[in-house]
Amino acid sequence: MDYLLTFRLSIFSTVLFLCMNFACCNNGRRVGDVMDTEFNGFSVPLEHSFEVDDVAKFRVRGALVLKAGREPSVSLSQSQLSEEDRTKLKEVAAVDGLYRVRVPRVFLQADRQTERQVEGHLTAFVRACAMVESHLSDVITLHTDVSGYLIGVSIVTLPGACRGTEVEDEVDLEAFNTTLSIMAPVNAPGPETALFIERMEQEMEKKGKNPQEQKSFFAKYWYLILGGAIFLMATSSAQPPAGGDREQS
């Protein structure tokens, strides 16, 4: 009986030790670790600015989380607007101010962040009234070059027009409803050289099979040449001689 009790206590101690060190299989995180992403990636800040005096003062709106891999893959994590920010955004909209966003110049591949990159930010803006009347519904597009380097950013609201619609602060200006997309360059279609050559070869092959089309110029147009020669002979024989006898008085 004592042996069985000792064995159970030993198993319990072992399980407790494993849970304390590995957080009971909490996806590899220890207790108290910050759960910033659900995968190994790299994040860059998405910032915004909206001021009544139209002097940009950027602060963090959220984070672009870049996934590792050959193709650019980005997800967006955002915070809700505070009560102070909601009030300020409506004030900026009332004076027809601007709502700006910016992102740093980076590669959109998480595994290329160690490469040398150009410092600075890329900025886009919309009218603050459009941001308010869209209930914080926007579309942010990240434009890249062929190597996946970020070269531009654009933002539009849905809908995009300002109609003077009244918007409730707490209900409609609390959380962002954002669609994030990546726009990479598309290769232009090249000339159809191969198709042109193939058609030319087919035409030459058809002519080779039909010897009637390979006749010489004389064989094709002999009747015209003969007719022209006869016409010249007829007209030359009908003309009087150049030097005739003169009549004497």
Q: What is the pLDDT of residues 69-79, one digit of tens each?
A: 666 678 999 98
The whole-number pLDDT of residue 60 equals 96
pLDDT one-digit tens code per residue, 27-65: 333 333 333 433 345 789 999 999 999 999 999 999 999
d(CA 212, CA 224): 18
**What is the structure's pLDDT at 28?**
32
Q: Which amino acid is at 21?
A: N
Low-confidence stretches of the chain (pLDDT < 70) are 1-41, 68-72, 110-118, 169-170, 190-191, 207-220, 237-249
**pLDDT for position 135:** 93
DSSP state of 239: S
Predicted TM-score (pTM) of the model is 0.60
Residue 109 near residue 145, CB atoms below 8 Å: no
Sign, CA dihedral 109-110-113-115, equals negative
Round to whole Å and give the CA distance between 75 and 203.
Answer: 55
pLDDT at 29: 32
Q: Which residues of 181-212 are buried (b: 16+ CB within 10 A; e: fewer)?
A: eeeeeeeeeeeeeeeeeeeeeeeeeeeeeeee
SS3 119: coil
